[in-house]
Amino acid sequence: MLRRFWLFFAQAVTVLLALMFIIATLKPQWLQRQGQFGKQLAEPIVALREVAPGIGSGPAQASYADAAQKAMPAVVNVFSSKDGSLPPDPRAKDPLFRYFFGDKNRKQQEQPASNLGSGVIVSSEGYILTNQHVVDGADQIEIALADGRTTNAKVIGVDPETDLAVLKVNMTNLPTITLGRMDQTRVGDVVLAIGNPFGVGQTVTMGIVSALGRNHLGINTFENFIQTDAAINPGNSGGALVDVNGNLLGINTAIYSRSGGSLGIGFAIPVSTARSVLESIITTGSVTRGWIGVEPQDVTPEIAESFGLEQKSGAIVAGVLKNGPADRAGIKPGDILVSVNGQEITDTTRLLNVIAQIKPGTAAKVHLVRKSREMDLDVTIGKRPPPPKQPAEDNGGGGGGGGGGGDQDDDGG
């Protein structure tokens, strides 16, 4: 039986091979069609893009390592200290208090208060940009570079109204950062924040530009902040905000926070402002701004209605400094300032910024509305007086004024 089955199988195979030989000889196109059909079954029905073997199923993630490595060497740690800044504890005079606590409390009172922040080397000559609140009132400032070198620094000048300070160190072979361009910066651009948060060491965080030109925050007198969600924490103050090419876009200054940590709302001073302050301080030792001596107030719909004003925007003059530039030019309380040298005035912040940019001693044409009548006055711009000295606060060099705290200067120009 098995022999008969094997004989049948051998005959069948012989017949099939003979049939394939005849087809290959007489009709070879039949075999080509069969091959194409098999190939079609192996290919996808539609054209699909598929990753190469070994790459993985997810998209390749962009790296910002080059930008970080380019900018990080120019970002330094700033340590400032104030001697005798802590008031003595009145309980130290109590013999019973000294018996239980000894002189430990007294020694703690005698230790200098320290402040921690960051800075950015912007010139090979040793100039460093940082925040004014990082070095405010400091008796000693020490700089630590990313390569491990340390040195003392001296303050060349400060500008409290923008919260910027310029330091200088005497060192060679200093790494410097490249300044970026604000006119090419857009909301949504990726940025990196570099600094020394909480003293843990140099750190890089990533985010995007959330907004440009932020003001009315009550942090500084002159505000034009870059808002970002890159994490900025205590110790980041004075550090660099850079673009994806490692170019400096701003100086990290403040955060909005209820706890002291980052909530994704941070603010940086634009590089355009920082550069202007830097050059002015290096040249003259201070920042000179224009001033006309008025106390302005925003024109709100409520004010416009109560005064019967047709003008719905601008800055209304609430007060005029006697014998000041505005007073000598004939500006009076109740006038609404509409434009200065052709630049529209929408509110007090805009007025402050426009006036500040005009060189003292030059004449400016002020367009105003007085009792529904428009007129132009020529005002000789004066030099803005320095702000009153505020008592220094030890804020740990933090992201600067959490929650947008601070006093807004109200003399408008």
Residue 363 three-state SS = strand
83 falls within a domain? yes
Q: Which of 136, 159, 163, 243 is flagged as catalytic? A: 163
* CATH number of the domain where residue 220 is located: 2.40.10.120
| Terminal alpha carbon distance of the chain | 117
Residue 52 domain flag: no
Which is the catalytic residue, given 237, 257, 262, 339? 237
Q: Is the pLDDT of residue 99 over 50?
A: no
Query: pLDDT for 230-262, tens place per residue?
Result: 888 888 888 999 999 899 999 998 877 666 666
CA distance 240 to 243: 10
For helices 2-26 and 28-42, give the axis angle rounded to 10 degrees: 100
Of 162, 163, 164, 161, the closest CA to residue 128 belongs to 164
Q: Is residue 133 within 8 Å of 237, Cβ to Cβ?
A: yes
Q: Please, which pLDDT band fits residue 73 given cuts at 50, 70 and 90?
A: very high
> At 351, which CATH number?
2.30.42.10
Q: How confident is the model at residue 407 (pLDDT cuts 50, 70, 90)?
A: very low
Rounded-to-integer distance, Cα 359 and Cα 355, Å? 9
pLDDT at 22 over 50: yes
Same domain, 314 and 182: no
Beta strands in 55-102 (DSSP E): 75-82
* DSSP conformational letter for 179: B
Would you say residue 20 lies in a domain? no
- pLDDT at position 412 is 53
pLDDT over threshold 70, residue 64: yes
Q: Which residues contact 87 (CB under 8 A, 6 or more apart)?
A: 109
User: Is 163 an annotated catalytic residue?
Assistant: yes
User: For 134, phi and psi rounded to 5 degrees?
Assistant: -75, -35
Task: Check whether 85 has a pLDDT greater than 70.
Answer: no
397 part of a folded domain? yes
How many domains does the chain contain in total?
2
317 in any annotated domain: yes
The first and second tokens of residue 65, run together, are 């390592």
- Regarding pTM above 0.85, the answer is no
Residue 237 appears among annotated catalytic residues = yes
Q: What is the pLDDT of residue 408?
A: 35
Mean pLDDT of 53-57: 45
Residue 259: the pLDDT is 61
What average pLDDT score do residues 291-312 get?
78
194 and 254 together in one domain: yes
Tell me the residue range of the domain where 301 lies.
Answer: 290-383
- Which are the contacts of 380, defined by CB distance < 8 A and separation ≥ 6? 325, 328, 329, 361, 362, 363, 364
Q: Cα separation of 306 and 297, whole Å?
A: 14
189 carries an active-site annotation: no
Q: What angle do CA 319, 321, 327 make, to 5 degrees?
A: 95
Share of the chain above pLDDT 70, in %: 73
Dihedral sign, CA of 369, 373, 376, 382?
Answer: negative
Q: Are residues 274 and 306 in the same domain?
A: no
Segment holding 47, helix H or strand E:
none
394 or 136: which leads in pLDDT: 136
Q: What local confidence, expressed as pLDDT, does residue 120 receive?
A: 92
Predicted confidence at residue 127, as pLDDT, reads 92
Asked if 251 and 280 sit in the same domain, the reply is: yes
Catalytic, out of 133, 159, 229, 243:
133
